[in-house]
Structure formats: C-alpha cells, structure tokens
Amino acid sequence: MQGSLDKIDIGILVLYSCVLIGMGVYYRRKCRTAEQFMVAGRSIPAWAAGLAVMSAYTSSISYIATPGKAFDANWHPIIFSLCILPVAWLVCKYAVPYYRKTRLISVYSFLEERLGSWGRVYAAVAFVLYMVCRVAVILYLASLLLSTFVRLDIRIVIVVIGALTIIYTLLGGMEAVIWTDVMQSAIMIIGVLFCAASLSYHVFSGPEPLIQAAIEQGKFSFGSGKFSLNTQEHLANRTIWVMIIFGVVENLRNLLADQNYVQKYCSVATEAEAKRSVWIAMLIYIPLTAVFLYIGTTLFAFYSQGSELAEAGITKGDQVFPYFIATELPAGLKGLIIAAILAAAMSTVDSALNCSATVLLLDFNKRYFNPNIGAKASMLFLRSMTVVWGVLGIGFALLMINAKSALDVWWQMSAIFGGGTLGLFLLSLMRIRLRLWQGLVSIGVSIAVISWALFIRHDFVTEHLPQSWHWIQCNLDKITVGGVGTAAMMAVACLFGLTNRNRHRRKASPSGVSA
C-alpha cells in the first residue's frame, strides 16, 4: 500500500511539529531544577495529569493494533480495559497514599525500603531496558505507517520522529511532556471520533446495513466463556479468563510499578488530585478502547461486500485502518488522522525518555555514584540521558526493520521485564523480607518460567526435541505469561519469607518455651 499526502496534509504535519518544538522551548524557562524536570514542581492540575496517564496507555500500537484485533477477531480486548476499574481502586486506596506521603519521585525507592537495594536495582534496570524496547517498537510502527504516505525511506522517518520527540522532551522536561500529551490526546480523540462517525455513516445507511455482516460473524463478542488458559487457534476463541488474567496483571504493573505512570500522577499537588488523575485517565481510556474496537468492527463491515482488501494486498487486520485512512479520507482530514497517530506514538515516547532519565539519575547516579550531585549537574545528567536513551531507542527501532515481527519482540521483552517487577512490588506490599540470595533466586525462577512459557512452544518442541520430551511444551496463551511469571516469583518468595519468619521466631523464643 502506498498512499500520498496533499499539500494541506503536509502543512498540518509541519505545523504540528513546529507546535511541539515551540512548546518545548516555552516550557524550558520553567524547567530550572531537577524536580521541575522530573515532576514539574508538582504543579500539574489533576485533569492534565490524567490525560497524560491516559496517553501513556495509548500509542501507535493501540491506534493500529486495537482496531486490527477487532477486525480479525472480536471485542475481547475490552476485558483488559474493564479490569482497570478494580485495579485503579486498589492502587488509589493503598499505593497512592503511600507514594504521596513519602513524596517519592522514583517508584523503585519503595522497593529498597521494603526489600533492600537489590530489589530497587533489579526493577530500575528492568525498567530502563523495557523503555528502550517500548520506544523502539513505537517509533518503528509509527514510522512504518507514515512511510506509506511520504516518499521517504523508513530509516529517515524513524530518525526524524525520534529526534523531534527528543528535542521537546529535552527542553521542557515533565511539564512539556504533560502539556504536549494534553494536546496530543485532544488530537487523538478528535481523530478517532471522526473515523468512527465516518464509518458509522457508511455501515448503518442503506436498506441493508453493512453492519449486519459484523453482527452475523460475532464481531461484538467478548470472547469464549470456556474456562481455559491454553493457546487458541484463532484470536476469536481467546477466553474471557485469559483476558481477565492479562488485564489484572498488566494494569497492576502499569499503575503500581511502572515509573512511566507513577511519575505523572505524582506531578500533581495533593493526594486527592493524584487519585483524581488516575480515575480521569481510566474513565477516558475505557470508552476510547471501545471506540478503537468499534472502528475495527465497522471496518470489517465496510469491506465485507467485496474483494478490495485482497486486491490491495491486505492480509491482516493491522493493515486495514491505515489502508482506510489512505484511500477513503479526504485531504486535510487525512493529515489530521496521521497527526493523531503520530501524537499517540510521541506522547508515549516522550514519557519513556523523561522517566528513563529520572530513574537513571535517582536510582543509579545519585544513589550509588554521586550522592552529593548538585542542581546544575543533575539537570545536565537528566538532559544527557534523555538524548542517550532517545538515540538508543532510535537505534533499536532501526534494527526492528529486519525483525520478522516487531510486536513479538516487544511482547517477549515486556513479559520478561514486567512480570518480575510486578512480583517485587506485590512482595513489598505484603512486607515479605528476603535475603539477597533468596531475592535473586525468586527473580531467576520468574525469568525461567517466563522464558519457558515464551519459547518452549509447539514449533520449538517438534523441531528440536525428541518425542519423549514433548511433555515440556507450554500451551498457555502467550498473554498470560506475565501473570505466570509473577505467580512463580510470588510462590518461591513466599516460601522463603515463611522460612525466614519461622527462623526468626525460633531465635526470639526463650529456651524451652514454645513460640
């Protein structure tokens, strides 16, 4: 598929880029200290922080992949969104008050207090590596889309988008990140609603509405009710239980243990505003996900009566929404929608860069290498790391060009890093004390279980192992892997914690007296 942009579309994209740089320059004058760079002096209003948290949840992955899932299968991703509600309640009741009371900036300092320095170091390392992968995949997918409309090599597009994001994040810090996220969220929501309205007009009009084809194919289903966690042959058969596990685990990791989200709702003035920002984010994200899924369903209906997609070489759902944008939207609106997709990507990348720089300063440089670092040196370090991590993200995005599936690479890395980190936070909340070697063993077990669930699957087993070893094959749905890894870590760590507690009681008991 090769589209084209009219002059008005190009003008919209250029104007959008200039506004982003202008906002970075404007907020640079307010970004004088490290705290202003990291949490904007805790002066952000709750509604703006909420939009920023919401924009971190959405990205070019959501904009393209979520409609693609609905096109290929059904509405099962909505379960993930609905699981946010109980998770947000738990986080607001237990985590947010503590985070606000201690005025933490790096969420991983919580792990050092509860578990020891080893927990903080592991989680911080996992986070910054996780962010490099996230930046790379999002830059690659956004550039892949844009390169279908502009006659530029995808490598150039990756570098341009990455450099633009680095510049305004570098200049304005967290305040520039949040206020550009607010603007980008508005553009994204307007673009999504316009596409939904346009598709509704096409599929509901006429004596025989096209939407009937989607209804007959079960496209509005939430998934299978069968109690199974096994891999399904088709996404339409993915069970509700799989999505519940995935939704609870991932949303807990995001709101409880991910610096990318915690840093935003810690940038407001009070605990009450922090809680309000979380709820604002979630109550926007849930209906927005429904709109993304609705677009995928109506795209299925729109293209159900002909062979246009096959003739255009469209073979999977992820390609359908970009094709619709390229072929059906008029000049001007096409530029707006592309700007919206770029906004979804850049609002995630800018957060990743700012938060990575924050973790590198607080959890490594200031904690271990230079405890007495001054204000100017802190700002220089933050801005330098923003550039370094941005360049690393661009570099890995360029490597993604040769990957068979960028989403598979991203998913595998997020499962490995994410599952272990969530487990550490849950152990901290449960106040389970571990020795260094016990913590390392628990992390190792989690990584081993996740690696088994990711890689020891049907194709690998049949090609590389004898028949007698086929029992080792993992048949779990891949999106449950993070939950499985977390459960494995928790089980091992709880056994260690119980052993430590019993040993402590025996030592504390007087000789001959029962504990």
Domain residue spans in the chain?
7-400, 403-510
When mean pLDDT is compared across 47-51, 214-218, 476-480, 501-505, the lowest value belongs to: 501-505
pLDDT tens sequence across 176-191: 888 888 887 888 888 8
Q: What is the mean pLDDT of residues 50-67?
A: 81
Q: What is the mean pLDDT of residues 395-399?
A: 88
Question: Does residue 499 carry a pLDDT above 80?
Answer: yes
Count of other CB atoms within 10 angstroms of residue 509: 11
Highest mean pLDDT: which range of 26-30, 87-91, 467-471: 87-91
Q: What is the mean pLDDT of residues 11-16?
A: 85
- Going by pLDDT thresholds of 50, 70 and 90, the confidence category of residue 290 is very high
- Going by pLDDT thresholds of 50, 70 and 90, the confidence category of residue 407 is low
Question: What CA–CA distance (Å, rounded) separates 139 from 161?
Answer: 7
Q: What's the pTM value of the predicted model, to 2 decimals?
A: 0.84
Name the helix (H) or strand (E) containing 332. none
Is the separation of the CB atoms in 20 and 346 below 8 Å? yes
Q: What's the confidence (pLDDT) of residue 358?
A: 92
Mean pLDDT, rounded, of the chain: 84
Question: Does residue 421 carry a pLDDT above 60?
Answer: yes
pLDDT tens sequence across 121-153: 999 998 898 888 888 888 887 887 777 777 778
Burial 179-199 (b: 16+ CB within 10 A, else e): bbbbbbbebbbebbeebbebb
Question: What CA–CA distance (Å, rounded) separates 319 from 332?
Answer: 21
- Please choose, from the candidates 450, 418, 489, the residue with its C-alpha nearest in 3D space to the C-alpha of residue 254: 418
More confident residue, 508 or 147: 147
Task: Give me the helices (H) in 29-153, please.
Answer: 34-39, 46-57, 60-72, 77-82, 84-90, 96-101, 109-114, 117-146
- Please choose, from the candidates 22, 2, 18, the residue with its C-alpha nearest in 3D space to the C-alpha of residue 10: 18
% pLDDT > 90, the chain: 20
Q: What's the confidence (pLDDT) of residue 404?
A: 54
Q: What's the confidence (pLDDT) of residue 385?
A: 93
Cα 130 to chain centroid distance, Å, stands at: 10
Question: Does residue 514 carry a pLDDT above 50?
Answer: no
Q: What's the confidence (pLDDT) of residue 62?
A: 74
Q: What is the mean pLDDT of residues 389-410?
A: 76
Degrees, nearest 5: CA angle 113-259-349: 160
- Going by pLDDT thresholds of 50, 70 and 90, the confidence category of residue 381 is very high
Which class for 232: exposed (0-12), middle (13-18), buried (19 or more C-beta within 10 A)?
middle
Q: What's the confidence (pLDDT) of residue 190?
A: 86
Question: What CA–CA distance (Å, rounded) separates 338 from 326?
Answer: 10
Cα 305 to chain centroid distance, Å, stands at: 35
Which class for 389: exposed (0-12), middle (13-18), buried (19 or more C-beta within 10 A)?
buried
DSSP class of 237:
G
Instruction: Based on DSSP, count helices (H) and strands (E) in the chain, helices before strands.
Output: 22, 0
Q: What's the confidence (pLDDT) of residue 235?
A: 57
Residue type, 262: V
When mean pLDDT is compared across 205-214, 240-249, 281-290, 397-406, the lowest value belongs to: 397-406
Question: What CA–CA distance (Å, rounded) separates 342 from 348?
Answer: 10
Question: Does residue 252 carry a pLDDT above 60?
Answer: yes
Contacts by 505-509, CB closer than 8 A, 24 or more apart = none
Cα 123 to chain centroid distance, Å, stands at: 16
Please report, to the nearest 10 degrees, the dihedral formed by the alpha carbons of residues 162, 133, 52, 267 taken in order: -100
pLDDT tens sequence across 188-200: 888 889 889 988 9
Class of domain 7-400: mainly alpha
Contacts of 429 (CB under 8 A, 6+ apart): 94, 95, 114
Question: Does residue 307 carry a pLDDT above 90?
Answer: no
Q: What's the confidence (pLDDT) of residue 512?
A: 47
Q: What's the confidence (pLDDT) of residue 513?
A: 47
Q: What's the confidence (pLDDT) of residue 270?
A: 92
Copy the structure tokens of residue 322: 């970009």
Count of other CB atoms within 10 angstroms of residue 366: 18
- Please choose, from the candidates 282, 56, 77, the residue with its C-alpha nearest in 3D space to the C-alpha of residue 188: 56
- Going by pLDDT thresholds of 50, 70 and 90, the confidence category of residue 113 is confident
- Longest pairwise C-alpha distance within the chain: 89
Q: What's the confidence (pLDDT) of residue 60?
A: 65
User: For helices 333-359 and 154-204, what crossing angle results, to 10°?
Assistant: 130
Highest mean pLDDT: which range of 15-24, 169-178, 283-292, 468-477: 283-292
Question: What CA–CA distance (Å, rounded) separates 453 from 416?
Answer: 10
Q: What's the confidence (pLDDT) of residue 171?
A: 78
